[in-house]
Amino acid sequence: MKGILLTEKTPAEGIASFLHEPEFFADLIFAGIWLVAASAAIYLPALNETPLRIVLTLPAVLFIPGYCLIAALFPKKDDIGLIERIMLSIGLSIAIVPLIGLGLNFTPWGIRLDPIVVSLTLFSGVMIVVAFYTRVFIPSRERFRIPFHAIAGRIRRESGTPQEKGIDRFLNVVLILLILVAIITTVYVIVVPKVGERFTEFYLLGENRTASDYPDHIITGRTYPLYIGVGNQEKRDMSYTIETWMLHTKFDNVTNTSKIIAMDSNNYLSFVLANNETTLIPYNLSVGKTGYNQVEFLLFNETVPGFEKTGLDRINASYRNLHLWITVEQG
C-alpha cells in the first residue's frame, strides 16, 4: 500500500485546518509569556529590585530572540535537531542583540533601557507570529514541537533499567550532581554579583558645562559661574559636604612643595545623594579681595572635621579635593 504524501497547504487550507483542529504551540506561548514576565521584572517596583529581575531578563536577552528567529526559519521538526536548535538560538541571540543596539545608536532614542526592551520584545514578538504562521501551513505531523513526553520517557527508561551495572548508575548520579552544582553556581554568580569598587565622582565644569573654560583671571566683586559635579557610586546613600576655600600659596624651592600662607573659608554646602545618583550644583565663584592664587574645593563624606583643623591638614582630611589656580585683580 502506498504511503500518504503530505504536501504543503495553501493559506486557505492551512487556516481552515487550524480552525478545525486548533493547536497552541507550547514553546511559542512559553516564549511570549517569558517576555511579558521579563518586562514586568524590569518595570514593576516589586520585582525590579529583586534577583528575579536577572533570572527573567537574561534568557530574554541571551536565548529567546534567537529561538524565535530559529522557530520562524525552521518550522518543521526535521529541519534541524533539538540540540542544534538550542545552540543556534544562543548564538543568534548573541548576534541579534548587538545588531539591534547598533541600529538604535542611529535613532533619536539611542541605546537606552526603554528602547532596547521595546526593540527586543517587538523583534521576538514578530518572530513568534511568523513562526506560528509558518507552522500553520505545514502538515501537523511535520510541525516542530518540543518532545516533552519523549524526553520524560527517555529519562524514566534510562533511570529505571534493572540491568544497569552499579558503577554505571553511580557515574550517572555523579554526572547529574555535577550538572546541578554547575547550574546552582551559575545562578548564584548571576543573582549575587560581586560588589564592585565603591567611589565618589567629584569634578568641576565650566560655565558651558564642559571640562574647560575655567575662570583663571578673577576681578574682585564679579561672579564667575561654575558647576560642581558629585556622583555617588558608594553602593549606599551618602551624606556629603562641599567646602570652598580661598588660598594664598607659595612654592618652596627647598622642599619642592607649596606652602599655604593664608586660607580663608568662602562657602560650604551639605546634601544627601542616593546610590547611583549624580548631581550638578551651580556655583558662583566670587572673590572679595586680592592676594589669593588658588581656590580649593573639598568634599567630605559624612564626617566633617572641626574648624580647628586648618591648612594642609584639612585638605588631607577631605575625601576628595579639587583646585583652580587663579590670578586676582582689584575691581
Are 323 and 295 in contact by the 8 Å Cβ rule? The answer is yes
In terms of average pLDDT, the best of 137-146, 181-190, 192-201, 244-253 is: 244-253
Superfamily of domain 199-329: Immunoglobulins (2.60.40.10)
Residue ranges of domains in the chain: 11-146, 199-329
pLDDT at 262 over 60: yes
Average pLDDT over residues 113-136: 90
Q: Name the pLDDT band for 292 (thresholds 50, 70, 90).
A: very high
Place of cell 535613532: 107
Which long-range contacts link 81-87 to residues 24+ away (Cβ below 8 Å)?
82/146, 82/147, 85/144
Closest CA to 123 of 55, 180, 72, 171: 72
C-alpha cell at 286: 566670587
pLDDT at 297 over 80: yes
Give tens-digit pLDDT for 5-39.
Answer: 444 555 555 554 544 455 678 889 999 999 999 98
Are 268 and 240 in contact by the 8 Å Cβ rule? The answer is no
Q: What is the dihedral of CA 22, 27, 32, 33, to 10 degrees?
A: 100
pLDDT at 225 over 70: yes
Are 245 and 265 in contact by the 8 Å Cβ rule? The answer is yes
Q: Name the pLDDT band for 170 (thresholds 50, 70, 90).
A: low
| Model confidence, pTM | 0.48
Facing residues of 203 across strands? 229
Rounded to whole angstroms, the Cα distance separating 296 from 269 reads: 14
